Structure 1
Amino acid sequence: MKILSKKRFVSLIGAFTGGVAGYLYYYFIGCSTGNCAITSRPFNSIIYGAIMGYLLVSAFGKDKKY
């Protein structure tokens, strides 16, 4: 029994990579005033990056035709 299919594994890798990219964006660019909705806290940047990474990888995945 497979726990993770290949498609889900690739999507999770995309989400993880996006989360890392979101943190790096916060760390190196960030928001100096603290008023930015996405980059004001590292948690927000990580979640936003993970969602964007997941959606980006999912958009290029191949769909099975039934």
Structure 2
Amino acid sequence: MCRKLYSMMKKASIWYPLAGIAIGSVLGYLYYHFIGCSSGTCPITSNPVNSTLYGAVMGGLLISSLVRK
């Protein structure tokens, strides 16, 4: 069962989008932490959860669009 799951995940190349999501979420949080929005009026960068989720989505989309099928 475990080998079958591993072979399915290897064939589906799910690792690239997951890596993009992880890198994007870290970059999104770092953007909030170092640049951010001090006034609180920015919808994405005023909250660490929003900027982390936005970075995760953008990272996943970017990496999955660059990977050859």
- TM-score, normalised with respect to structure 2: 0.84
Structure 1 unmatched runs, 5+: none
Determine the structure 1 residue equivalent to 2:38.
Answer: 32
Q: Distance in 1 between matches of 2:58 and 2:52?
A: 10
Q: Which structure shows the higher helix fraction?
A: 2
Deviation at 1:42, TM superposition (A): 0.2
Aligned counterpart, 2:5: 2
Structure with higher Rg: it is: 2
How far off its partner does 1:2 sit? 2.5
Could you say which residue in structure 2 is the equivalent of 1:20?
Answer: 26
Deviation at 1:22, TM superposition (A): 0.1
Unaligned runs of 5+ residues in structure 2 are none
RMSD in angstroms over aligned alpha carbons?
A: 1.2
Which portions of structure 1, spanning 4 or more consecutive aligned residues, are displaced by more than 4 angstroms?
A: none
Alignment of 1:39-54 (within 5 A): 39-54=45-60
